[in-house]
Structure 1
Amino acid sequence: MKKRRRRQRRAISVAVIVIAILMIIGLAGYLFLQKNNHQDETAGIDIPATSSTETTKSDEAESSSETSENTYESLINGTGKLSFDYYKKNVYIDNVYQSYQDEFVSKLTKDDYTISELVDDMNAIFSNPDNYYAEGKVKSVEYAYLDCGNDGNQEMVLRFTCPIVEEASSIEFILKEIDKKIQVVYSYCSWSRSETSINYQGFISGGGSNGASNHGYDCGIINADGSYTYGYYEEEESDLSMLAYRYGVEDLDTTSLPGNIVVYSLQTEKSTADKMAPIVFSYLVYDDNFSETLDIPNLYTDSEYQNLINTIPDAQFIPYDEFEAKINAKLDSIGATQTVIGSNQLQYNKINL
């Protein structure tokens, strides 16, 4: 009985061993087939080495860097450049009586600059005694974004506080991306007697003193394509005798009439070195404090004030409501709607030099 049980145990052990061997052989065969199938599936596919993959990423980074070389962000970060090429070809005017900004641009040593390079060149220009600038250097550089033409494409303005006109004056450059370059498309200066600014939708306006009794105002607009369109120039003269003198009338007596005659002049075209733009005039009569206008019957027809105005030859005077209508018509013609004129003022951010 014991021998039979021993033989049964041996038989069971042998069977278990045989089954285990068969399972191992089967598993090995399965793995072999899977390996061959995987090799068949990947046959002919070129899998790049690790070093090649890194090179590809590096190439992509270089390509991205080249594409974004002259963005507004790279400009303010110190790597991108701005160009004066557009300005010199389309805006700059070379004549005897240049604007402050054109006179400055004429002294630049090249067309393309990083901001730090431009600051260095500006400081060299200001410190050159032959250029007759006030003492000082660039004190600060600020930037702001705007949307000229309200088309969703951003522009930028850079403001340099520097001795461009006087010690605490400034020059601003309007920038737009054109053909993958950040181009200066317009510029203006501000100082103690003249202040100019641009708002978020590209409307430029400014004014200042032309003397004790005369103040001027002008405006224009930067369009979506970066071009500048002239608006108008207006002057306010509170001393009628000054205007009369310009037209050859001396010793004009206004003391016999009550109130103060204030004359307004308007040019809706821009004067050039070769041609003076047409001028139209109007006037209002203010009280002694220049705070309110006086209601004068038939002011522009047969009043004593009009009789006095008629003694000034070659000066075309029109009623003030017609004068205002000309201003509004000009603004409409350049797209300077009340929405554009009233858009937000810019918020400037300082750039660390």
Structure 2
Amino acid sequence: MKILFIPEPKKEETSERSPQMIKVLKRKHEVVFLKPEEYWIKKRSFWPLRAWERFHINKKLIEEGKKMDGIDLVFCRDYTFALPGSRIARHLRKPCVWDSEGSMKAFWEDHHKYPTQVLPWLPAEKWLSKRVNYMITVTERDRRGHIEQGMDPNRIHIIPICVRSELFSQKTKEEARQALQLASHETFFLFFSNFNYLPNRMAINFLNEKVAPHLPGKLLLCGQGNLPKKLHPKIEYLGFLPLQKLYDLIRASDVCLSPIWEANGTLTKVLDMLGHGAATVITPAGQKGVRGLQDGVHALVAQDKEDFIYKTLLLAKNPTLQSKLKKSGPEVVQKNHEWKLYENQLLTLVESFGNNGH
């Protein structure tokens, strides 16, 4: 089967969902791309310009997609690419699959935050749910949200966010610190993310203003995007790191932090932290997408911002609790969020989508 995957992901190694899906699909099928991700998304600061530019980019790419030969299935990452992808699939008279990493309706009902950014997308999500043929999403909560938006329950399936433990760093904490040239006896906290995403920027501001002043050590930040103009002296920004260096950094850290209060689906960073056996403090938003995760067993789950500060300091000062979480964290990932558990399911679903047509 020949699958058109939209968009072509970035080239660097990553634990993100789409590149890992593509690796699985390529084992049995030919996978082709229309354009790289960078071509589809232009970074305009003023949203009307972004919308205008996106319309014209999509229009051009739809015309290119209509000319592609031998396509059996159009596979789209999230709603941004499912909008033009569904048009291409309809012209080619082939089925379209939307891989949704989270329902906007579920997000709005759970949080009622960011109305100017979320509410305009609800009608688009509803419209799109009726124009794709099949959907894959990541949690039962997101599945219900999409069904409420009009998606046929028989055409929506769940494959959770997953990681590959074989890619994890195999270094000990001491070896990782030596490789990264970090002090052997200092206490290190870690947060990593894409800082262009609003909830992540809010997390950075919270860590910078409220958490860092209390830390008995240094907070390491890595990722790319907009940072506060002035970082607290206890924060060190390391920039964007390749995947293996990031994984070494997780190994080298004493406590990992994820103060994300509003999120869709599952946070991959939480799986990376837990999978490495990191002692981790998260929020209910980080907990909800991880199957079987229990507060105090696999990670500490803070219920509000004051609780987050309290549990961060509690974990930093309690080596026994750190050791407990480091042993149990990987178990929940290995049991429920390893790619090898779902690879055959993905291949079976995709083959059924192609065979059943549109």
Return the TM-score normalized by structure 1: 0.23
Bigger relative CO (Cα 8 Å, ≥ 6 apart): 2
Q: Which has the higher strand share?
A: 1
Q: Which has the higher helix share?
A: 2
Larger CA Rg, structure 1 vs 2: 1
Return the TM-score normalized by structure 2: 0.23
